[in-house]
Structure 1
Amino acid sequence: MAAVDDVTAAELLSWPVGVEGELERRIAHLLCHSLADEGISDDLIDTLDEVLSDRPGPAAPGRKIDALLLRWGLPVSRRPPEVEPLTAEDAARIIDRFRRATRQLTQVVAHRVAVYPTEELRLLLALRDEQPSPAQALSYLRRYALAILAVLDLMGDDA
């Protein structure tokens, strides 16, 4: 970004705005929509949060060694969080939501970025066409959610 001194800024601001300049401003204003205006709703954001958050399962039984470590002021051993399995109905609902979002994003992204994100959209379309097994549904949905987030991040939001 170039710095402009006060004299140059005053001169630029004093230039009259012609019909072409006003038309350009109106077009720029109309093109600047928020993601919500483009159909990217809070429902999609909630679904992304649902998929990417740890889905808490039943509480793991406490271990005696953990109690001893805590009593001595030592850190408890790290275990990966238990994840509740994804039901077939939840997986189908989320897959449907992500596929609708993919359709919206492919229509909108070209108008929202300076450089077309070819690689990100290729990954998004490949994930849309993938048919995961029920055992792989959660990892598939997490990969899909990250691909959607990558495209949303490139698009930004001016709201």
Structure 2
Amino acid sequence: MVAVSEDVAVQLLSRRASGDDETVRTLLVGLRRSLAHEAITEKLWDDLEAVLGEHARPTAYESAVIARRFRKATITFVEIVPHLVRPYPLAELTRLINVSAEHPRVEATHGHLRRFALAILTLLDLVGDAAS
């Protein structure tokens, strides 16, 4: 966060805002990238690698922790994807929400996490295209 003096704030707020199409498009792209950056953290990529990587086999404890973070990411995606992706990816979000609602038995955890990770990756692909 950046603090500015009252004089600077008044000066910034008194400037005329530009409403031309090019400026609005540039601002929209920046806002979309900012939203995507907030949702797509380095930890999310680490979790995806822990589940989908070549030698991935998380422990039961790691699986529970990753599943919690994936569920938190699901909430974030439900909130931001409508602002980033057109047309609205109903099938992809529905799949993510449904997988998020599952709570499998211990022996089915790894398969569940793989499906969860793949559903997240599908949305990441759509958000990446929209945010660029």
- TM-score, length of structure 2 as denominator length: 0.74
In structure 2, C-alpha distance between the alignment counterparts of 1:133 and 1:144, rounded to whole Å: 15
Flag structure 1 segments of 5+ consecutive residues without an equivalent: 1-17, 57-83
Identity level (%): 37
- Equivalent in 111, 131, 142 of residue 83 of structure 2: 111
The RMSD of aligned alpha carbons is 2.3
Cα distance, 1:123 vs. partner?
0.6
Compare the two structures and name the one with the higher helix fraction. Answer: 2
Give the CA deviation at 1:53.
1.4
**Corresponding residue number in structure 2 for 1:5:** none
Residue aligned with 1:114, SS = coil
Q: Which residue matches 1:150?
A: 122
In the alignment, structure 1 residue 48 sits paired with structure 2 residue 20 = no
Rg (Cα) greater in structure: 1
Q: How does 1:6-155 map to 2 (within 5 A)?
A: 19-21=18-20, 24-25=24-25, 27-34=27-34, 35-36=36-37, 38-55=38-55, 84=57, 86-155=58-127
The one-letter amino acid of 1:126's match is: N
Structure 1 position 31, deviation (Å):
2.6
Equivalent residues of 2:39, 2:77 under 8 A apart: no
Aligned mates of 1:55, 1:30 — CA distance in 2: 36
Distance 1:129 1:25, change over 3 A: closer
User: Does the 8 Å CA contact 2:96/2:116 hold for their aligned counterparts?
Assistant: yes
Note closer, same or farther for the CA distance 1:21–1:51 as it changes in structure 2 (3 Å cut).
Answer: same
**TM-score w.r.t. structure 1 length?**
0.63
Instruction: List structure 1 runs of 4+ shifted beyond 3 angstroms.
Output: none
Letter in 2 for 1:122: T
